Amino acid sequence: MNRLADKVAIVTGASPNIGGTLAMGLAAEGARVLCTDLSPSVAEDCAAKIVAQGGEAIAIAGDVTDPAHADEAAAAAVDCWGKIDLLVNNAMFFQQQGVLTMPYEDFRRQLDVILGGSFLFTRAVARTMIETGTAGSIVNVLSTAAWQGQPGNIGYSTGKSGLVNFTRSVAMELAEYGW
């Protein structure tokens, strides 16, 4: 089955866990996938696995909190395949600590990756979709921690819960484009 034939996807946080599995699944359904990760080897490994299984993929390493990286990834997908149909915001910086033990800088880094990365990639991809006239989908990977919180996991829980209303706000804002 190739439900995603001729579709182009970007997956952030393309580690072998959730992001890599999503990228592989999208490719198995026919999507061409741009894999991005902070680690060049992780992004390249994910893309190489897709290609080895007969799919199309490229890797672009970078920090999702860097606006230039988000723009570069969107431009690379368009340069390679002409459009973007799907974005999966999955990048994560996981450091399980509580409010009493987590350094503020680490808390901010988690929020920057989860929320800031999703903002930057959503903005870059949405602009590209509008420019190319491509009605697409933006998926933000959540967790049960978004709804119930977790003791000793303050940054992750806060970031994932923030993605809930980020998703709602973006959906309302982009609705005028028919997505």
- Catalytic residue numbers read 156
Rounded Cα distance, 170 and 118, in Å: 11
Angle between helix 117-132 and helix 67-81 axes, rounded to 10 deg:
30
Do residues 50 and 30 make contact, with C-beta atoms less than 8 angstroms apart?
A: no
Residue 116, helix vs strand vs coil: helix
Rounded Cα distance, 15 and 43, in Å: 7
Instruction: Detail the DSSP E strand segments found in the chain.
Output: 8-12, 32-37, 57-61, 86-89, 137-140
Do residues 93 and 105 make contact, with C-beta atoms less than 8 angstroms apart?
A: no
